[in-house]
Amino acid sequence: MAQQQEQVWANPAGWALLAVAVLTACVGVFHAGLVPMTTAPLLIGILLACSLPQLIGAIICFRRGEILFASIAGLFGTVITLGAAFTVYQLVIQAPKPGAFTPEIMGTFWITLFVITEIFAIGFGRMSWFVLAFVAEVGVMFLLLGIFAWSGIPVFSIIAGWLALIFAAFCLYVASAILLGEHFQRPILPIGRPVFK
């Protein structure tokens, strides 16, 4: 009888990044002011749906021993994506009247995520300068959302929206590089050299 080989989990990073691309594109057009504020309730469903691939991908990566991607996918899938979904629900649907809830606590939320994301960016420098740069870029988006929550100055939200759109394009590219590389078992799309060894 032939020895059976243990089935190995596939790399879920491409799937999780595609979900991040969808959510950051939708959140980006909202914050950039490219769609009306009346679309805000629809973000709840988008955020909830996009949290699943990230969360499941994180669990698979933890199982595979890939701590950095598992941690960022888990954080993005739960704290950021689910947190944003529940916050939008509270601000848009639960508030008894417009302005009944104010967003200042979200400033602390977003700025803490900025710091965490910049730490992740350093770790991704072992993979590629390109990945490091764009993970750091989304961290700046979180910083701007935090400043907007504290100050209420719309330009911070608008710039954050455009940064989210740029990050969505990055996620599409890197997801494509991962998916095609895994499928063809060789690099197809370059993602740059590592910064750290």
DSSP 7-68: PPPP--HHHHHHHHHHHHHHHHHHHTTSS-GGGHHHHHHHHHHHHHHHHHHHHHHHHHT-HH
CA distance 63 to 69: 11
Domain ranges of the chain: 13-101+153-184
8 A C-beta contact, residue 33 and residue 158 = yes
- Asked whether the predicted pLDDT for residue 98 surpasses 70, the reply is no
Residue 99 pLDDT? 66
What pLDDT digit, counting tens, does each position of 130-188 carry? 999 999 999 999 999 999 999 999 999 999 999 999 999 999 999 999 999 999 999 99
pTM of the shown model: 0.91
Residue 5 pLDDT? 58
Label residue 153 left, alpha or beta by phi (over 0 means left) and psi (-120 to 50 means alpha): beta
CA distance 39 to 190: 36
8 A C-beta contact, residue 194 and residue 133 = no
- Asked whether the predicted pLDDT for residue 59 surpasses 90, the reply is yes
At CA 111, angle to CA 107 and CA 113, rounded to 5?
120
* pLDDT classification of 4: cutoffs 50, 70, 90: low
Residue 104 pLDDT? 87
Which pair of tokens denotes residue 197?
Answer: 């060894």
8 A C-beta contact, residue 195 and residue 125 = yes
- Asked whether the predicted pLDDT for residue 74 surpasses 90, the reply is yes
At CA 91, angle to CA 37 and CA 27, rounded to 5?
45
Residue 180 pLDDT? 97
